[in-house]
Amino acid sequence: MGYLLEEGTHEIESAGKFVDIDGVRYYRTGDLGYWRTDGRLELLGRMDSQVKILGKRVELSEISSTALTHRLVARAVAILAPPLDAKSTKASTAELPAGARPSQKKSGRLVLFVEPRGFPTGAPGASVRQSKKRRALAGFEMVVRKYCARKLPRHMIPNAIKPEAKLPLTHSGKLDMKNLRRLARDVGWGSMGR
């Protein structure tokens, strides 16, 4: 089996994935690394946000970008959360949602944090207002879940979608990825991280 390409185009495509340095041919993997003084290669991680889920490469930014195409989404970021283990208080293996594959327990969970466009973010008010806010976020989560299910391949559909009235930002106004990764660890399977 191979790719359906015209005659000769395969060699051109493959050649673009290699680079020659000092007469040595290297393959461009997308990994970031450097040569140590002892001659060994030190790998630091990927240059992109690709992760492997169920044996398939998933670009996290593609999931975020897809969610952002919905008119009600102001900000979105997808994160690979660590797998839930038997010690977790959030979910056990018996609590896997319908449609989840058992191997996802080992490879981790895709968590999508989304911020609704135009959602009121005032100071916490009375419990009645907080209750309405929670219901509004739950409805928003279902809208985003259905949208992602229509637009993304099955293996890229987030296991959990966590709407936040306001996503955490750093002092410079960028998404606070460190804080989001910490929050993602606490998100269980399914709706609103429950």
- Looking at residue 29, the DSSP 8-state letter turns out to be -
pTM of the predicted model over 0.95: no
Q: CA neighbours within 13 Å on the CB side: how many for 71?
A: 0
Give the pLDDT confidence of 47-63 residue by residue, as tens digits.
Answer: 667 788 778 888 899 99
* Alpha helix stretches (DSSP H) within 21-91: 60-68
pLDDT at 114 (0 to 100):
94
CA–CA dist 35, 39 (Å, integer): 6
H/E stretch holding 142: helix 127-151
pLDDT tens per residue across span 97-155: 444 444 445 568 899 999 998 775 554 444 447 777 777 788 888 999 999 999 999 98
